[in-house]
Structure 1
């Protein structure tokens, strides 16, 4: 038995969330990765929230707002755009330094960088511990089988790409990577990674076993893709 919204099972879409489910929360309808020729610049978030007023039925419409966040923004900029995070997480180590071009990537930091975790938006924002400026964005797909599955809402992101073709009649082709893009498709568009992946095997402090297995992180064009085995 299938339960779905729409007229065709093969072209189903999730129905619009009822107003009663907002309960003062802000949800991300879409997240667009802003890019230039060198790589990502930041995020453009289209946020949805139910209007609130003094009365119970004072405002029963969904409001949409857009907010832009860039690399190098301060904590105050992010708080003004997105509000308070659901949690602040301080990093104990940085396993992804292996992909850093800096010659000081093995030098331990005296302070810990920290994340703003926005669970409902499906986004984490990493701040530098010294400058307190944005240095990384993490977009969660909420993929079944991942260690963090069902902790974050799925981030419906779009990453626009301009692919230049080789040959006499070379033309640029516009492509978009989404939450549902497969790793094979990403490699066809961006090329195969030159370095070996960083293997992540998450486990909690109380339980060292991880039933979901390891994931592999590949660096391509100033972006890191975490791939489930």
Structure 2
């Protein structure tokens, strides 16, 4: 005995699925592909248009503002502890936190955005240079960062230098000055029983910025 839909076994077709099969979510009944360029044949795609948008995000922006400008992130990470808290004043170290800060990870925009758990506003941006030999290599796209640095010299007009993705740590220290405190050593591993084959990185604090420096003198973030 055969169970089928249609007039005969040779002309069977799949029955129409009811909305309950999709758990009352949005679904596509069919998808039509339109080839807009003239002369396009089967298997040829029209030239895709690239739309360029420019948005500015700032410290203190709310989470809703960031999501409306940049869209949904690829991942949301909730911090368990702040390793850079050792550089905070002693009074801030003693204040317990009722909830954890969270980070929006965007791999194609090459940036992580840290939000305060109480105010839900931006308090840190992390820009990734995606250098080979780093633990997060090839996870993020390379961020082409540019940090203008104003340099004042005696008996001369001030000039502006730029710290970029390709600047090395030695050159950056000549522009910003040498850090006073020792760096925070950052270890990464995929599990407690594994070690990081790329080695540790060092986090230096300079002029309200933290530079993660690799052992080959390149800036990782």
TM-score tier (shorter): 0.7 to 0.9
Q: Which moved more, 1:108-117 or 1:186-195?
A: 108-117
8 Å CA contact retained: 1:97, 1:106: no
2:85 match: 97
8 Å CA contact retained: 1:141, 1:179: yes
8 Å CA contact retained: 1:197, 1:218: yes
8 Å CA contact retained: 1:113, 1:127: yes
Structure having the higher strand fraction is: 1
- Counterpart secondary structure, 1:162: strand
Name stretches of at least 5 consecutive residues in structure 2 with no aligned partner: 1-32, 38-46, 216-221
Q: Which has the larger radius of gyration?
A: 2
Higher relative contact order (CA 8 A, sep 6+): 1
Aligned partner of 1:79 among 39, 61, 67: 67
The equivalences for 1:162-181 within 5 A come to 162-165=150-153, 167=154, 169-181=155-167
Aligned partner of 1:211 among 186, 197, 206: 197
Compute the RMSD of aligned alpha carbons: 1.9
Distance 1:87 1:57 in 2: 35
CA shift digits 1:31-81 (9 cap, x unpaired): xxxxxxxxxxxxxxxxxxxxxxx8343872211110000001011100011
Query: Size of the alignment, in residue pairs?
Result: 175
Distance 1:88 1:216 in 2: 24
C-alpha spacing 1:214/1:131, structure 2 compared with 1 (3 Å) = same
Residue 173 of structure 2 is aligned to residue 187 of structure 1: yes
- Counterpart secondary structure, 1:104: helix
1:35 match: none
C-alpha spacing 1:64/1:97, structure 2 compared with 1 (3 Å) = same
Aligned partner of 2:129 among 121, 141, 148: 141
Shift of 1:206: 5.8
Distance 2:211 2:36 in 1: 44
Distance 1:145 1:108 in 2: 36
Shift of 1:103: 2.8
- Counterpart secondary structure, 1:63: coil
